[in-house]
Amino acid sequence: MKILVCIKQVPDMESRFKPDASGVWFAETDLAFRVNEYDEYAVEQAVLLKEQLGGEPEVTVLSVGADRVVEAIKKGLSMGGDRGVHVQDAAAHLKDSWQVASIIAAYAVGEGFDLILTGLQSQDRGSAQVGVTIAELLDYACATTAVGFEYADGTVTVKRELEGGVKGTVRLKTPAVVTCQLGLNQPRYPTLPNIMKAKKKEVRVIPVAELLHQEQRVAPVEFRAPARKGSAVVLEGELADQVDRLIGILKDKTAVLR
């Protein structure tokens, strides 16, 4: 069995974001990067399945992006992935979701993966398109928003999370794509020995030009902070003072404190 996990490296969401020179995306200076949260669930699910099947499946961890994404691939390998694929593209952020999906599909088409796991969405772009589009391009079955995953004999049973806490159970046959939702499992922390082992695992580098054959369909034109809707009173400064001011406001504005 061959499993592909697609992971994206995204900036730490607690950072401050400013437009870059293009004006259509964020500047990377001073940002820390990590693995997209949703994709950690995808890696964990692949590794859990590998363990369930006695180590037989081969797990490939792929990321499209600038050289920094190798760090994310290494994290996937230290969680239990077998080999990495880095589709090298310093301008990945300017591709639209359709192009990213086409790039990944162009890689995957000859590889015969039985199962492709992605995140439900990336935290930076958040289009929730790439996984499903890969499935369409490869003509694979696809289930999104997985909070439950079971595999037996070429059949995947996925519990999909719907609105209001309702779930829907679906069954699909491999080859299949499953997009992973938060809470699907408990992503493991890589251990030191596994981090060391990961350093020796193969990471194949493919220049994006070899895989990109599609034109952009959606062009980014602007990037900015949202218009501040709220009118929050912002309390900054010294702790004791903040406490007093908040208590004053609560007494004034709510019936909760007397």
Partner 1 sequence: MKFLLIGECREGKLLEYSYELFGFASQAGAETAMLLVGEEGTLPGYGGTVYLADAGKYGEYNPDLHKRLVQAVVERERPDYVVFMHTSYGWDLAPRVAALLKAPQVSEVVALAEGGGFERPCLSQKMRQVVKPQGTPVVLTLQGGAFPALVPGGTPQVQPVDAAGEGKVEFLGYEAAARKGVDLTKAEVIVSVGRGVGKKENIPVIAELARVLGGEVGASRPVVDSGWMDAGNQVGVTGQTVSPKLYVACGISGAIQHLAGMKKSGFIVAINKDKDAPIAGVADVLVVADVMQFVPALTAKLVK
Ligand X SMILES: Cc1cc2nc3c(=O)[nH]c(=O)nc-3n(C[C@H](O)[C@H](O)[C@H](O)COP(=O)(O)OP(=O)(O)OC[C@H]3O[C@@H](n4cnc5c(N)ncnc54)[C@H](O)[C@@H]3O)c2cc1C
Interface stretch with partner 1, choices 46-54, 55-63, 83-91, 165-173 (CB under 8 A): 165-173
CA separation for the pair 148, 79 (Å, rounded): 20
Subset of 107-136 contacting partner 1 (CB under 8 A): 120-121, 123-129, 132-133, 135-136
Least gap, CB of 14 to ligand X (angstroms):
5
Residues whose CB is less than 8 angstroms from the CB of residue 144 and which lie 6 or more positions away in sequence, other chains included: 120, 128, 131, 132, 160, 178, 179
Least gap, CB of 42 to partner 1 (angstroms):
15
CA separation for the pair 96, 17 (Å, rounded): 20
Subset of 195-224 contacting partner 1 (CB under 8 A): 216-224
Using CB under 6 A as the binding rule, whether residue 14 contacts ligand X is answered as yes
Q: Which residue is closest to ligand AMP by CB?
A: 119
Using CB under 6 A as the binding rule, whether residue 130 contacts ligand AMP is answered as yes
Size of the site for partner 1 (CB under 8 A): 83
Using CB under 6 A as the binding rule, whether residue 119 contacts ligand AMP is answered as yes
Task: Give the residue from 141, 153, 151 showing the smallest Cα distance to 178.
Answer: 141
Using CB under 6 A as the binding rule, whether residue 236 contacts ligand X is answered as no
- Phi/psi-derived region of residue 11, left when phi > 0, alpha when psi is between -120 and 50, beta in every other case: beta
- Are the C-beta atoms of 18 and 26 separated by less than 8 Å? yes
Task: Give the residue from 42, 82, 34, 59 showing the smallest Cα distance to 185.
Answer: 42
**Where does this chain bind ligand AMP (CB under 6 A)?**
6-8, 36, 38-39, 42, 62-65, 92, 97, 100, 118-119, 121-122, 125-131
